[in-house]
Structure 1
Amino acid sequence: MLDPTSITDAGSPSDTGSSQDQQTAVDKALTLLMSLAEEDREVGVSELARRTQLTKSTAFRLLGILQRNDVVERVGSSYRLGPQLFDIGRRVYGPTPLMLQDRLLPFLTELYVLTQETVHLAVLHRTDVMYVNKLHGHRRARTSTRIGSRMPASCTAVGKALLAFDHDAAELAIAQGLPAPTEHSVTDPADFRAELARVRRDGIAYDREEILPGVTCVAVPVIGAAGRPVAAISVSGALHRFEPARVAPELRRVAFEAARELGATARSRGRRHPAGSAAA
């Protein structure tokens, strides 16, 4: 395993490095990881050193330590993120997103087959949405989302579908200042509260070029066993061809069936582990 006391500010082995040196080495290692995360390809040592403003020898030594711990992989003379980092990342938000990803995949697949547009599954994380799953095909919309990424909830259909039923999160988002990724984003608190009221009334939310120009989206919440939304499902498409209102009925139906599946799963678990019994 990675021993932070084995590297100093210069990246060389040491048994007596100060805590400041050790922290600096960790900072540099994290900088390398963040630089690798910006790419969907392998990156060479020289380029990584240039990006992170490290010497090539320091970058090489730190990458070697990360490689030994499976946090990065070496491909020829270049590097990419390793499987251990992926495994750690899957645990960041706990088991619920992973359970939702698994249980609701059939419903996302059905929705994609029906619409042939990009389908998302997302959960609320403070005032952001985190994308748990994403399906797209040849007609994919130009989106910046990926599984595990986060976006401001106030600018997305999935986010508004969830914020509408979480008063505290909605008010926190307003207090922090509503971001404006595009000129169509809703930034006025009164207008935003009115939109969330419409979402609560109609059970459906829209993103009209609010997160990305040329892309529109429709979303509905997935209601959990406790009667509150646990996730939201959306369909996104290019503005020039996609009419969100046309897919809204199918989206509502699929979300209802997804909620029923989650409810059945919860009841099944309750029967296996009744209150007061020890879980296996």
Structure 2
Amino acid sequence: MALLNAFGEDALIGVGVSELARRADLSKSTAFRLLSLLQNNGAVERAGNNYRLGKMIQDLGATQETAWHGRMRDALTPFLADLYELTKQTVHLAVLDGSNVIYLNKLYGHIQVRSPSRIGGRAPAHCTGVGKMLLAYDHAATEEVLNSELIRWTPHTITDPAVLRTELEKARQTNLAFDREEIMVGLNCIAAPVFGSNNKPVAALSVSGPVGKFVPESQASLLRKVCFAAARAAAAVAPRNP
């Protein structure tokens, strides 16, 4: 595991055995032996004199994206890019899947901040801005979330069903939802819905940034403007299959 972790950001480019051994704090001979075993099982592959993660490892992290997710991502990514250009902050495009959200796309802002979100990844809806925004319009999903255990991810996560219900009602009234350090300490977020042809949100866009340097409310006007423009593109996407 230490050897696999040693690939880091060079996982798809390739790293030499000596460098991998150094990063993993292993002898070169041990690293070479482990790499040979991993290569035999498709976990790594040779790239010239270097090694990189193989298809087997990449497949483990691959998302099972539906055709609808792909169409929605393609239709709304240009608007996500518009939001980034307007805010210069980290922006997300997400859809609801039961009690979780799936991030279809993400663009990183100039001010880097640690964030648990990744493209194709999932996160609990109850403690994310995009999740709360989409829950606000989905009664069945809301009841599923409120009747289950609300996991406390940080000291700021809302775990009282009554408090969360009130917040969701406010999100529906204002078409704005917030994550105030609820999924990660130091991270704030504001989200707004993208409506589809049935006048219900099919996705949500968000802007996030570090506490102390980013004021979520300051992005409300720009976020609403972009989401309004994105609604026409979202309405043109075929409905999600049952």
Instruction: Judge same fold: TM > 0.5, yes or no.
Output: yes
> In the aligned structure 2, how far is the partner of 1:266 from the partner of 1:152?
26
The one-letter code matched in structure 2 to 1:40 is E
User: Does the 8 A contact of 2:42 with 2:54 survive in 1?
Assistant: no
Partner of 1:125: 97
Partner of 1:64: 40
Change (3 A) 1:36 1:229: farther
Q: Gaps spanning 5+ residues in structure 1: where?
A: 1-30, 51-55, 268-280
TM superposition score normalised by structure 1: 0.69
The one-letter code matched in structure 2 to 1:167 is H
Q: Deviations over 1:118-177 (max 9, x none)?
A: 000011122111111011132233212211111111110000011111122222222331
User: Does the 8 A contact of 2:71 with 2:237 survive in 1?
Assistant: no
User: Does the 8 A contact of 1:41 with 1:80 survive in 2?
Assistant: no
Partner of 1:189: 161
> In the aligned structure 1, how far is the partner of 2:7 from the partner of 2:103?
18
Return the structure number with greater relative CO, CA threshold 8 A, min gap 6.
2
- For residue 80 of structure 1, the aligned residue among 53, 71, 81 is 53
> In the aligned structure 2, how far is the partner of 1:129 from the partner of 1:240?
26
Between the two proteins, the alignment pairs up a number of residues equal to 225
Q: Deviations over 1:33-90 (max 9, x none)?
A: xx66994344869899x9xxxxx979745632426xxxx5334453414399469935
Change (3 A) 1:212 1:261: same
> In the aligned structure 1, how far is the partner of 2:54 from the partner of 2:129?
31
User: Does the 8 A contact of 2:129 with 2:179 survive in 1?
Assistant: yes
Map 1:98-247; keep pairs closer than 5 Å: 98-247=70-219
After superposing the two structures, state which structure 1 stretch, 35-44 or 234-243, moved more.
Answer: 35-44
User: In the alignment, does 2:62 pair up with 1:89?
Assistant: yes
- Identity of matched residues, %: 41
Q: CA RMSD in A?
A: 3.2
Map 1:251-262; keep pairs closer than 5 Å: 251-262=223-234
> In the aligned structure 1, how far is the partner of 2:99 from the partner of 2:54?
28
Structure 1 consecutive aligned stretches of length 4 or more whose deviation exceeds 6 Å: 43-48, 56-59
TM superposition score normalised by structure 2: 0.79
The one-letter code matched in structure 2 to 1:115 is T
Task: Indicate the SS of the match to 2:101.
Answer: strand
> In the aligned structure 2, how far is the partner of 1:81 from the partner of 1:121?
28
What's the CA shift for 1:230?
A: 1.3
Change (3 A) 1:191 1:78: same
Q: Gaps spanning 5+ residues in structure 2: where?
A: 27-31
> In the aligned structure 2, how far is the partner of 1:262 from the partner of 1:101?
10
